């Protein structure tokens, strides 16, 4: 089971969320701004109320930091299709291309 603790207004969470659409695994998202029990669960598991926070029970991994979460998900679960590019300029969205 993969669990991702988030807040919809968090810009770092918004970097991770598009990756979830393209990996070959189910992820349960827990919005800590809507559920105080999930917020308490996050603090119990991770030690602080910081999002995003990923718990990957199958791989025995728990982590903060959006770049680390994106790298882990893409490495362990691949992508389910062609990456999307959100920027027509020279730079590419980190969530899309890792």
The mean pLDDT of 76-93, rounded to a whole number, is 57
What share of the chain has pLDDT > 70, as a percent?
A: 80
Could you identify the residue written with the tokens 């919809």?
Answer: 8
**Residue 88: pLDDT band by 50, 70, 90 thresholds?**
very low
Burial class of residue 6 (count of CB atoms within 10 Å of its CB; 0-12, 13-18, 19+): buried
Least trusted range by pLDDT, from 13-27, 35-49, 71-85: 71-85
Q: How many whole angstroms separate alpha carbon 67 and alpha carbon 69?
A: 5
What would the two tokens of residue 64 be? 């903060």
**Residue 24: pLDDT band by 50, 70, 90 thresholds?**
confident
Could you identify the residue written with the tokens 């968090």?
Answer: 10
CATH class of the domain at 2-97: alpha beta
Domain boundaries, the chain: 2-97
- What's the confidence (pLDDT) of residue 94? 54
pLDDT per position as a tens digit, 27-72: 999 999 999 999 999 999 999 999 999 999 999 999 999 999 999 9
């Amino acid at each position: 089971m993969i669990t991702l603790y988030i807040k919809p207004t968090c810009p770092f969470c918004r970097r991770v969320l598009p990756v979830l659409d393209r990996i070959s695994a189910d992820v349960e998202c827990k919005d800590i701004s809507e559920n105080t029990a999930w917020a308490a669960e996050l603090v119990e598991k991770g030690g602080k109320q910081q999002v995003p926070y990923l718990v990957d029970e199958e791989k025995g991994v728990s982590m903060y930091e959006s770049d680390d979460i994106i790298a882990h998900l893409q490495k362990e679960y691949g992508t389910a299709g062609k990456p999307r590019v959100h920027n027509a300029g020279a730079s590419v969205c980190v969530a899309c291309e890792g």
